[in-house]
Amino acid sequence: MQLSAFLLFAFYLLLLWPLARWHRSRQSLAPAVFAGLLLGVLFGGLIHLAQGWGVDSQWVLGWVGLIGDGYVNLLHLVVMPLVLVSILGAVVRVSDTRSLGKISASVLAVLLGTTAVAALIGVVIASVFGLTAEGLVEGAREAARVDELNVRIGEVSDLSIPEILTAFIPRNIFFDLAGHRDTSVIAVVIFAVLLGLAALGVRKENPEHGAAIEEFVSVAQAWVMKLVRLIMAFTPYGVMALVTALIAKSSWADILNLFSFVVASFVAIALMFIVHGLLLLVNGVNPVSFFARVWPVLVFAFSSRSSAATIPLNVETQIDKLGNSPAIANFSASFGATIGQNGCAGIYPAMLAVMVAVPMGINVFDPVWLASLVAVVVISSFGIAGVGGGATFAALVVLPTMGLPVTIAALLISVEPLIDMARTALNVNGAMTAGTLTQHWLGDEVPEIREEDRVIDG
C-alpha cells in the first residue's frame, strides 16, 4: 500500500468530522445530505487528480465503497420488512377495503400515464437532437455487451403479458422476502394486502382476536420504523461515499464521445420533471414546495442508482414532508420501484427506438408507428421487473417488439452510469408524484397519519 493512498483516505475520514457536526446540528436530513453531496464531488475530483499523480486510487475507493455500498446494503436490508409491515398496517386500519383498490388504481394510472408522456418526450428529443445509431463505434466492452444482450433477449422476447403478470404473484413468501426475484417487492405488497384482508376477516368474526392482530402489527411497525430511523441517520455519509465513487470512476472521454446523447437524455429527463411539476400545479399542489421537500430523496436516488434502495427514504419523505398517508406512501413507493418508471422504462427505450428506426428509413412520427411504440413502452414498463433489471432490459422488450435490433443498447454502455443516475431520480420522483396526486384525490378515504407511522421528525 502506498503512503500517498493512505494519506488520501485519511483526508477522506477527516472530512467526515465536519459533516457529522453539521448533521448533528440540524434536525432535518436535507442540509447534511447536500453537504455530503458537495464533499463527495470535491473528493471525487481530488481522486481524479491523484490518479494522474500515481496514487493507488483503487485502494482508496475500496474503503470509500465500504461506506457507500454498506449503506446501500442496509437500505436493501430494510426494504422488505418496511414494505411488509407498512402495507399490512395500512390494510389492517382501513374501514373500507374499497379504498385500497382506489389507491392502487390511482397510483398505477399516474405511473403508466406519465410513462406514456415520457416515451413521447423521448421520441421528440431524440428527433430534435438528430440522434442516430450510425457512426457509433463498437469496442471490446461494447462487443461483450452485445453477446450478453443476445443471451438475455431470449429470456424476455417471448414472454406474454399473462406470463409477465404471473411473475408478480408470490409463490414462496420467504423467497420473496429475501429479494431473490426482480418482482419480489410487488410480490411482498400482494402478500401484505392478502394478509391484511385476512386480518380484517378475523376482526369481523372475532373482535378480540382482531384487536390483538392490530396491536401486534402496530408494535411490529413501530419496531421496523425505529430500525429505518437508525439507518437513515447514515444518509449524508452514504451519499458522500457514493458520489465520491461516481465522480472518481467517471470517464470524461466516454462522456465527450457521446456528448449529444448525454445532453439529449438530460434534456428529456428535465422536461419530465417539468411535466411532474405541471401535474402537481394543475391539481393544486405547489411544485416549488414539493421539490424543496423531496430533493434529498432525489439526491440519494441520483447517487445510488437504485429505486428499490430509495424506498425507505421515499416513504419517510411522503409521510413526514408531503403529508401523504402511510397507505398511499407505501403503495406508491413500492409500485414506483418496479412499475411505470418514467426514466428507465419510458424515455430510454423510446430514444433508442428512434436512433435505430431513423437509419432504417422509418418515419418515427407516423401516427400508427408512434402509437404502437408508446403502447409497447407502457406495457413493458408495467412488466419489466418480471424479466430483469433496468433500462437496458426495458429496451430488450421494446426494440424487438417494434422489429428493431438491440445492438444500440450495448453501444451506449460507456455513458450508462451517468445517465442512469438522472433516470433513477426521475423514476423516484414519479413515484412520489403519483403518491401526492393520489393523496390529493383520495385523501379523505384513507386513514390519517398516526404519530407512530412517522420515520423521522422535522
3-class SS of residue 138:
coil
pLDDT tens sequence across 344-382: 889 999 999 998 888 888 899 999 999 999 998 988 776
pLDDT tens sequence across 113-137: 999 999 999 999 999 998 887 655 4
Q: How many domains does the chain have?
A: 1
Task: Output the pLDDT for position 342.
Answer: 92
DSSP letter, residue 68: H
In a domain, 110, yes or no: yes
CA separation for the pair 121, 160 (Å, rounded): 27
Which cell numbers hold the place of 405? 435490433
Whether the per-residue pLDDT at 397 is higher than 60: the answer is yes
Residue of higher predicted confidence among 141 and 445: 445
Handedness of CA 29, 442, 119, 145 (dihedral sign): positive
In a domain, 82, yes or no: yes
DSSP letter, residue 2: -
Q: Computed over its alpha carbons, how large is the radius of gyration of the chain?
A: 22
Range of the domain at 21: 3-453
Q: State the chain's mean pLDDT as an integer.
A: 82
In a domain, 89, yes or no: yes
Comparing CA positions, the residue from 274, 263, 253, 421 lying closest to residue 351 is 263
Q: State the pLDDT confidence band at 305, using cuts at 50, 70 and 90.
A: confident
In a domain, 458, yes or no: no
Task: Output the pLDDT for position 208.
Answer: 92
3-class SS of residue 206:
coil
In angstroms, the Cα distances linking 359 to 160, 348, 356, 373 are: 29, 18, 6, 17
CA separation for the pair 304, 246 (Å, rounded): 9
- Kind and range of the H or E element at 148? helix 140-156
Q: State the pLDDT confidence band at 411, using cuts at 50, 70 and 90.
A: low
CA separation for the pair 275, 239 (Å, rounded): 27
In a domain, 87, yes or no: yes
pLDDT tens sequence across 226-253: 888 888 888 889 888 988 887 887 666 6
Whether the per-residue pLDDT at 29 is higher than 50: the answer is yes
Handedness of CA 172, 175, 181, 182 (dihedral sign): positive
Task: Output the pLDDT for position 212.
Answer: 93
Which cell numbers hold the place of 288? 416549488
Whether the per-residue pLDDT at 81 is higher than 60: the answer is yes
In a domain, 22, yes or no: yes
Query: How many contiguous H segments (helices) and E segments (strands) does the chain have?
Result: 20, 0
Comparing CA positions, the residue from 258, 412, 297, 276 lying closest to residue 343 is 276
Q: Side-chain half-sphere of 437: how many Cα atoms within 13 Å?
A: 26
In a domain, 438, yes or no: yes
The three state secondary structure string of 215-263 is: HHHHHHHHHHHHHHHHHHCCHHHHHHHHHHHHHHHCCHHHHHHCHHHHH
Whether the per-residue pLDDT at 273 is higher than 90: the answer is yes
Q: State the pLDDT confidence band at 96, using cuts at 50, 70 and 90.
A: low
- Across the range 154-163, mean pLDDT stands at 59
Collect all residues with Cβ–Cβ distance below 8 Å to 271 and sequence separation of at least 6: 121, 125
The CATH number assigned to the domain holding 163 equals 1.10.3860.10
DSSP letter, residue 398: H
